[in-house]
Amino acid sequence: MSIFEYNGSALVAMVGKNCFAIASDRRLGVQLQTVATDFRRIYRIHDKVYIGLSGLATDAQTLYQRLVFRHKLYQLREERDMKPETFASLVSAILYEKRFGPYFCQPVIAGLGGDDQPFICTMDCLGAKELAKDFVVSGSASESLYGACESMYKPDMEPEELFENISQALLASVDRDCLSGWGGHVFLVTPTEVQERTLKGRMD
Amino acid sequence: MGDSQYSFSLTTFSPSGKLVQIEHALMAVGSGQTSLGIKAANGVVIATEKKLPSILVDEASVQKIQLMTPNIGVVYSGMGPDSRVLVRKSRKQAQQYYRLYKETIPVTQLVRETATVMQEFTQSGGVRPFGVSLLIAGFDDSGPQLYQVDPSGSYFSWKASAMGKNVSNAKTFLEKRYTEDMELDDAVHTALLTLKEGFEGQISSKNIEIGLISTDRKFRVLTPAEIEDYLAEVE
């Protein structure tokens, strides 16, 4: 089994009309054994930037701690929050620093940039950025996520519809992957508020 | 003087609480050619005297005002070679920032990094402080900005400032002439008049240098022809 599938994960982010949603599954496993059913993969960097980290859970946690450290220093020095594009460049640089002994994580970054325009991107474990205008996926369930998003996605969805859409895509995909599932976490972010919801899916 | 016993080593405080080498560095700045900067509502202008040691020097090859990034320029008073080292280091730091964040460095951050370099040279072994004060002019998302950085590493944001030989006259002149809502063209005229105040000899486009940046965020050094035009307007 590949190292990226050791813990199992599913992550997806979608762009809507002046909003974005980022969702993950909740299972933490050790190969085939489920060890936790409430594992958080999506972290808030600040009100308008969220990062989801799939792959090896220990690397995800360490990477998250390093990123929070860098962002807090940035906030103190520059007296402002990081834009999502800037944050994505920072994550890419930090991952490439470990080019010959990488963090086994694939981040998904989602945020509201200048003029509250939604921004999403993903990258591989070495920091190769992939920007998208519609959706990005990551994790052991990424192949089924690609399929589900490709068929379900529509541009310019309102927040409620976007939430429905991303939840359906996530739950349908994790059912096809034995290493992810046990429900979902969805963050729906608009310029004025953030809604966090938990999904109940097939608990297996 | 009790202080002179402590003036051999930069990293030793004198009993009066001063680092004498820094005072001496400031004297080097104070005997350098006058330079000044003015922040207008829609841009920043910096200017300096360019008195060359002989008429045989090819004045087109001498450039005192330099770019640190496409939207940040710098002028100095004091020892020219020292300023070149600082400009080189600052340019590198600006590019490192861009490599990391893919965003152009804000003016305040570049000023801070430059000031940090200058401070390091006041607290290390075997080095001496830089014999220059820099006036850094830039335009970024926070608007037009003008900063002065001293050999000690302290930096200040100014609406208008001057450094070098004629500093006190120039500052008095600027205090009288400066207004908050000045436009960039007015600021250039004021800068020329301020330089003229203490100028020894006849001011012309060959013995001064002017750099400016406005809302287009591109710092540029004026050509002698452009300086001629501004000088004609001021006469």
Nearest residue on chain A to B109, judged by CA atoms?
A: A78
pLDDT at B61: 86
Helical ranges in B102-183 per DSSP H? 107-120, 167-177
* Separation CA A190–CA B208 (nearest Å): 54
Does the beta-carbon distance from A86 to B99 stay under 8 Å? no
Does the beta-carbon distance from B99 to A93 stay under 8 Å? yes
Query: A89 to chain B nearest CA, in Å?
Result: 5
For residue A24, give Cα distances in angstroms to A16, A38, A111, B71.
Answer: 17, 11, 16, 42
pLDDT confidence of B11, banded at 50, 70, 90?
A: confident
pLDDT at A31: 92
Query: Which of B95, B96, B102 to probe by mutation at the A interface, max A CB count within 10 Å?
Result: B102
> Are residues B155 and B111 in contact, defined by beta-carbon separation less than 8 angstroms?
yes
Closest partner residue to B109 among A77, A85, A93, by Cβ?
A77
In this predicted structure, the answer to whether residue B3 has a pLDDT above a threshold of 80 is: no
pLDDT at B5: 62
Query: B102 to chain A nearest CA, in Å?
Result: 6
Task: Please report the residues numbered 85 through 104 in chain B whose beta carbons come closer than 8 angstroms to any beta carbon of chain A.
Answer: 99-103
Q: How much is the average pLDDT of B57-64?
A: 88
pLDDT tens for chain A, 204 residues: list them: 899 999 999 999 999 999 999 999 999 999 999 999 999 999 999 999 999 999 999 999 999 999 999 999 999 999 999 999 999 999 999 999 999 999 999 999 999 998 999 999 999 999 999 999 999 999 999 999 999 999 999 999 999 999 999 999 999 999 999 999 999 999 999 999 999 999 999 998
pLDDT at B103: 93
pLDDT at B1: 44
Query: Which of A86, A97, A109, A123 to probe by mutation at the B interface, max B CB count within 10 Å?
Result: A86
Does the beta-carbon distance from B102 to A85 stay under 8 Å? yes
Q: How much is the average pLDDT of B139-146?
A: 95
pLDDT at A201: 92
Q: How much is the average pLDDT of B44-59?
A: 92
> Are residues B213 and B75 in contact, defined by beta-carbon separation less than 8 angstroms?
no
B-chain CB neighbours of A90 within 8 Å are 100-101
pLDDT at A89: 97
Helix (H, G, I), strand (E, B) or coil at A134: coil
* Separation CA B200–CA A63 (nearest Å): 62
pTM (two decimals):
0.90
Closest partner residue to A90 among B100, B106, B112, by Cβ?
B100
Q: How far apart are the first and last CA of chain B?
A: 49
Does the beta-carbon distance from B103 to A77 stay under 8 Å? no
- Describe the strand order of the beta sheet including A184-189 as a list of residue ranges: A135-139, A10-15, A20-25, A184-189, A194-199
CA B133, B134, B136: angle at the middle one, nearest 5? 160
Task: Please report the residues numbered 109 through 148 in chain B whose beta carbons come closer than 8 angstroms to any beta carbon of chain A.
Answer: 109, 112
Q: Average pLDDT, whole number, for chain B? A: 92
